[in-house]
Structure 1
Amino acid sequence: MKSLGSIRRSFEPWNDPNQRPYIAFENITKKFGDFVAVKDLTLHIFQREFFALLGGSGCGKSTLLRMLAGFENPTEGQILLDGENMSGVPPYKRPVNMMFQSYALFPHMSVEKNIAFGLKQDGMAKSEIDDRVNNMLKLVKLDQFGKRKPHQLSGGQRQRVALARSIAKRPKVLLLDEPLGALDKKLREETQFELMDLQQDLGLTFVVVTHDQEEAMTMADRIAVMDVGRIIQIGTPAEIYEAPKSEFVASFIGDINIFRGEVTAVKGGVVDIETPDGMVIRSETPHAHATGEKASFAIRPEKLRVSRTRPEGGINAASGEVWDIGYLGDMTVFHIKLKSGDVVKASLLNAVRTVEDPFSYDEEIWVSFAPDSGVVLSN
């Protein structure tokens, strides 16, 4: 199979039929009265995996996490952890720990005492607790802050304390519920990579719930995109981004342009789609299509080429005028109104500091793309 995107690491237990899932949600349904939060969901997560549950509010992702933690019980189905059925096992007896968005630190306790709290509850010897707390402080780079109270720390430092407390008991699985939501953008980006490195160093299984697509794409080995209590697609970040299986996933992850039309030709893994305004889209596709069926074609803004002259061949090209221009520093985003009236988005990398003849407002230009740069979606 052709590789999609950059290679993160050679870790793909989900593609090995001999690997047993470490966490298994089997036909899980969760109801709150008449409301169905999770619907007959099956999901397998593997040991040492950094897995993300991604979706909008009310999609069921936090409910799924809370059932794994033991704070909620499934209405139907079962949850297995390392082969053991978690049914009836209370939260404090499960080999998991949860880090909440609010951090839930004790304001009257020092950083050291916050980290040590769970260890004391378990009856660990004081010398062992001291060693473990010191190790945790070094791990999250807070060696000099052990005596401080939470209110004396920045938001990023409080986040690290909560993380240290969560992993101090060395759980088999760490659950993170919107862990970076309270941080500013720059600190959130830095912390994402720190979490990835920490997860690798500890060798733990991380399951994170987030509505932030960039956060999931950056940190996770695999992502489950959820909607109305169901999983719509599971895949690596590159698979989710480059090969979405539905218009919902394509639209939810990043920016996307959608062209709709009718299949006019199918030949050897290549399909022609004609839009209502006569534009012909030719695209490679691994899926079977029939002439005359409706089809949608999705392409990312960075995959579009923009030029002043008409591309050769006449396919995969449309003319329009520059409607809006957004300069973002690393790239410039163009909104281009096509002759059909549809507006598409194209993004061009600013690889040099100055452009001799930049595109301007209301200028007539052409957008085009290669046959393998987009994906034909299921309808």
Structure 2
Amino acid sequence: MPSLGSIRRSFAPWDDPAAKPYISFKNVTKRFGDFVAVDNLSLDVYEREFFSLLGPSGCGKTTLLRMLAGFEEPTEGELYLDGQPLKGVPPHKRPVNMMFQSYALFPHMSVADNIAFGLKQDGMEKGARDERVAQMLKLVKLEEFARRKPHQLSGGQRQRVALARAVAKRPKLLILDEPLGALDKKLREETQFELMDLQQELGLTFMIVTHDQEEAMTMSDRIAVMDKGIIAQIGTPAEIYEAPDTRYVADFIGSVNTLEGKVVSSDESHVTIEGPDGRIVGGLRGSKAPADGQTVWFAIRPEKMQVSREKPAEAANALEGEVWDVAYLGDMTIINVKLESGNVVQAAMINRSRLVDDPIGYDERIWLSFSADSGIMLER
């Protein structure tokens, strides 16, 4: 079977029945009064995994990490780290460090003293402490800034100090709560790859909370998409993007067009639907086809649609419409197209050359075409 998306590396312990989870949430529920922040959730994370919790504000992702760090106790259920139950274990006795979005650096201390703070609190001998601090400074490439105070650093440099302080104690698990949220877009993108390299070099397990889908897609081995205290789907970035389980997951990760229709026929790999936008043939989600007459939704990403002024002769699917909006983004051009039904769908055209002889403009009649395997049929 062809792979979904590109493969970063062969690390995939979740596919090994013999692999033991490093972190386990077992039927965990967390209530704050009448509000259920986490609802009967079970989740396994493996050693050396870079795992992301992704979802909108209030979906329960930070509450999960706070329970793991020991700042909150579950109302129901159990948590395990490396096979050991965490119930009743205070935060300072857990082999876990948590890095917050604000970084929480001590403003009156130098970079080196900030990194050394936790080691000093643990009673590490000064010689060993100085050696560890030097290792951390080298690791995050801040050797020449050791004597500076936090206010003398850029946002990215402060982020690296906070990271060095978090990993200096060599925790089994590093928890990161929106760690890159305070950085500008370019620096955030650069830091994502630095975090990935650092995690690989140290061999640590990372759990990160983010609402930034691109951040989660870039860094993660796996992603858990959360919704109202439950997990909507867990998978690799490619699985989440190319084979979402529901319209919610499809819509939360990237841009997507969803076209509604009723099933008129199906086979082992494809489903044909008839709806307001015409007849569409699309890929089957899972091994069981929906029943004839059932309402389903065809989900397709904008970049998987081809744009043309003439109807393609060989296309499995073709929709005609009027150009409603055009947005030039540099690397691509986004075109919103109003179909005959009144539905507006989005197509993305890669700008492969600097100059375009005859660009598509507003109010033009165009065709959007796509193969049957470019999108997927969703039942909910």
Asked if these proteins are the same fold (TM beyond 0.5), I'd say: yes
What is the one-letter code of the residue matched to 1:342?
Answer: N
Please name the residue that 2:306 is paired with.
305
Please name the residue that 2:279 is paired with.
280
What is the one-letter code of the residue matched to 2:219?
Answer: M
Kept after mapping to 1: 8 A contact 2:116/2:129 = yes
Please name the residue that 1:165 is paired with.
165
What is the one-letter code of the residue matched to 2:342?
Answer: G
Instruction: Give, in whole Å, the separation in 2 of the partners of 1:227 and 1:124.
Output: 43
Please name the residue that 1:72 is paired with.
72
Instruction: Give, in whole Å, the separation in 1 of the partners of 2:72 and 2:102.
Output: 19
Instruction: Give, in whole Å, the separation in 2 of the partners of 1:308 and 1:130.
Output: 67
Instruction: Give, in whole Å, the separation in 2 of the partners of 1:271 and 1:191.
Output: 42
Are residue 375 (structure 1) and residue 376 (structure 2) matched?
Answer: yes
Please name the residue that 1:343 is paired with.
344
Kept after mapping to 2: 8 A contact 1:55/1:210 = yes
What is the one-letter code of the residue matched to 1:150?
Answer: P
Please name the residue that 1:33 is paired with.
33
Instruction: Give, in whole Å, the separation in 2 of the partners of 1:65 and 1:189.
Output: 23
1:209-249 C-alpha deviation (Å, 9 max, x unpaired): 00000000000000000010000000000000010000000
SS of the counterpart of 1:116? helix
1:334-377 C-alpha deviation (Å, 9 max, x unpaired): 01111111111000101111122221111111001000000111
Q: If the length of structure 1 is used for normalisation, what is the TM-score?
A: 0.98
1:92-138 C-alpha deviation (Å, 9 max, x unpaired): 00011000000000011111110000000000000000000000000
Instruction: Give, in whole Å, the separation in 1 of the partners of 2:183 and 2:283.
Output: 41
Percent of aligned positions that are identical: 67
What is the one-letter code of the residue matched to 2:283?
Answer: E
Please name the residue that 2:231 is paired with.
231
SS of the counterpart of 1:26? strand
Residues 304-313 or 157-166, more deviating: 304-313
Instruction: Give, in whole Å, the separation in 2 of the partners of 1:109 and 1:118.
Output: 13
Instruction: Give, in whole Å, the separation in 2 of the partners of 1:306 and 1:288.
Output: 30
What is the one-letter code of the residue matched to 2:255?
Answer: D
SS of the counterpart of 1:233? strand
SS of the counterpart of 1:292? coil
Moved over 3 A (4+): none
What is the one-letter code of the residue matched to 1:271?
Answer: V
Please name the residue that 2:329 is paired with.
328
C-alpha deviation, 1:283, in angstroms: 1.4
Structure-to-structure mapping, 1:285-300, within 5 angstroms: 285=284, 286=286, 287-300=288-301
Kept after mapping to 1: 8 A contact 2:315/2:369 = no
Kept after mapping to 2: 8 A contact 1:223/1:237 = yes
C-alpha deviation, 1:206, in angstroms: 0.1
C-alpha deviation, 1:267, in angstroms: 2.0
Residues 305-314 or 150-159, more deviating: 305-314
Kept after mapping to 1: 8 A contact 2:320/2:365 = yes
C-alpha deviation, 1:378, in angstroms: 2.3
Kept after mapping to 2: 8 A contact 1:280/1:315 = no
Please name the residue that 1:182 is paired with.
182
Kept after mapping to 1: 8 A contact 2:267/2:289 = no
Instruction: Give, in whole Å, the separation in 2 of the partners of 1:53 and 1:332.
Output: 30
For the aligned residue pairs, the C-alpha RMSD in angstroms reads 0.9
Residues 305-314 or 359-368, more deviating: 305-314
SS of the counterpart of 1:372? helix
Instruction: Give, in whole Å, the separation in 1 of the partners of 2:56 and 2:268.
Output: 38
1:5-35 C-alpha deviation (Å, 9 max, x unpaired): 0111110000000000000000000011111
Matched residue count: 378
Kept after mapping to 2: 8 A contact 1:156/1:187 = yes
Kept after mapping to 1: 8 A contact 2:115/2:168 = yes
Residues 369-378 or 285-294, more deviating: 285-294
What is the one-letter code of the residue matched to 1:93?
Answer: K
Q: If the length of structure 2 is used for normalisation, what is the TM-score?
A: 0.98
Instruction: Give, in whole Å, the separation in 1 of the partners of 2:354 and 2:124.
Output: 59
- CA distance 1:190–1:36, change in 2 (3 Å): same
1:280-338 C-alpha deviation (Å, 9 max, x unpaired): 11112133211100000100000001111112267521101111111111111101111
1:33-79 C-alpha deviation (Å, 9 max, x unpaired): 11110000000000000000000000000000000000000000000
C-alpha deviation, 1:2, in angstroms: 2.4
Instruction: Give, in whole Å, the separation in 1 of the partners of 2:179 and 2:330.
Output: 28
SS of the counterpart of 2:372? coil
Instruction: Give, in whole Å, the separation in 2 of the partners of 1:312 and 1:169.
Output: 63
